[in-house]
Amino acid sequence: MSQPQDLLDSVAGQLHNLPLMVTPETCLGRSYIITGANSGLGFEAAKHLVSLGAGKVIMAVRNLGAGQKAKASIEASTGKTGSAEVWHLDLSSYESVKYFAKRATLELDRIDALVENAGVAIDIDSQAEGHPVTFTVNVYSTFMLAVLLLPKMKEDAQRLNIVPHIAIVSSSVAFSAQPLWDLGKGAANPVDKIVQVGQLDTTGGYTVSKLLEVLAVRHLAPLLPVSSTGVVLNLVCPGLCKTDIGRNASDDIKAVAGTMMDRIGRTSEDGSRTLLFAATAGKSSHGKFTADCEIKDDSIIPDWIKGKEAEEERKRLWDVIAKEIEAAAPGSLAKIFN
């Protein structure tokens, strides 16, 4: 299992007062989707976009009531109405993901960025769609949504001469999951193998899910070059932020995290700036890991994730994710590689 201090070492000394990389000029008339936008980082990112004059900000939330309250708060604080919309999205349900993607494809004139911020860290025994909820939400549904919206975003890129972004919110704590990842190496389904070994707790499940995001993006991005799709796919680590993502963590993690948050934790508003950076970072960020509003792939990604052996393991993982997506949404993968 992951140890509390191991999960937090990577954020010691993190920066504060990060730059805001979006402006009224870069937001005007553009459309954004932010998952998990009713609180925390997603809420603050949505507020920035509304404040800066975005044409449309889709606040994708599981709880519509909480989403409407969040929207009202944003409109009251910014004085701007008409751009924020609350749409239902439950990432624990593949049907909900497919419905949301279909609606976005049909109703939105353009998608300039999809910020996949929503994530969970809950009891590894909790199940959805035949898997631990943490993996269903953070991995399978997250990539399914990206796959289902990519054809629309590719079309928008060509039609409007824009560079849409898909930014997946991960975390540098992912790299503390190496011992757990090693349990599944070589297996046809490494995710199932890790679960079956029985060493995952809530925190371990979360860190593994964040690692799976990194591995999957590093495999997928070269197969979908910006020169072909016109769409940037990247990862973002928001750092240790004062949100409620760890509300279901173990008591020892909460104790350590609480102390660290008091000492070095970013506000949700400060952390949201990393999401906006990833959503606008440009072609050079494709397939890369961003943090502190910078591309930090070379300085953060550890060596054991690189190299030939890692390439084979990344492919094996993607095959598992792809199989899940294809079973739930037949034909969707073929569309992104056309």
The residue annotated as part of the active site, out of 47, 172, 206, 285, is: 206
User: Is residue 337 a part of any domain in this protein?
Assistant: no
Q: How confident is the model at residue 244 (pLDDT cuts 50, 70, 90)?
A: low
- pLDDT tens digit sequence for 127-150: 999 999 999 999 999 999 999 999
Q: Which domain holds residue 81?
A: 4-328
pLDDT class of 2 with cuts at 50, 70, 90 = very low
234: tokens are 């990247």
Q: Say what angle helices 307-328 and 94-107 make with each other, to 10 degrees.
A: 80
Overall average pLDDT of the 296-303 stretch: 91
| Residue 239: predicted pLDDT | 84
Q: Could you tell me if residue 106 is inside a domain?
A: yes
Q: Is residue 336 part of a domain?
A: no
**Residue at 334 is within a domain:** no
User: Active site includes 210?
Assistant: yes
Task: Return the percentage of the chain with pLDDT > 90, whole number.
Answer: 81
Q: Note the pTM of the prediction, 2 decimals.
A: 0.92
Could you confirm whether 80 is annotated as catalytic?
A: no
User: 247 pLDDT exceeds 60?
Assistant: no
CA dihedral angle for residue 276, residue 203, residue 138, residue 246, rounded to 10 degrees: -50
Number of domains in the chain: 1
Domain membership of residue 192 (yes or no) is: yes
Assess if residue 301 is contained within a domain.
Answer: yes
CATH of the domain at 126: 3.40.50.720
pLDDT of res. 14: 74
At 306 the pLDDT is 87
Span 60-80, mean pLDDT?
98
Determine the distance from the C-alpha atom of residue 86 to the mean position of all C-alpha atoms in its chain, rounded to a whole number: 19
Does the pLDDT at position 175 exceed 90? yes
pLDDT of res. 11: 55
Per annotation, catalytic residue among 210, 268, 272, 285: 210
Read off the pLDDT of each residue in 296-307 and give the average, rounded to a whole number. 90
CA-to-CA separations, 157 to 144, 153, 193, 214, 324, in angstroms, rounded = 20, 6, 39, 24, 27
- 335 falls within a domain: no
Catalytic residue among 2, 92, 141, 170: 170
Task: Tell me if residue 102 is catalytic.
Answer: no
Q: Rounded to 5 degrees, what are φ and ψ at 265?
A: -65, 140
| 174 falls within a domain | yes
Residue 34: in which H helix or E strand, if any?
A: strand 31-35
Per-residue pLDDT tens for 197-219? 988 999 899 999 999 999 999 99
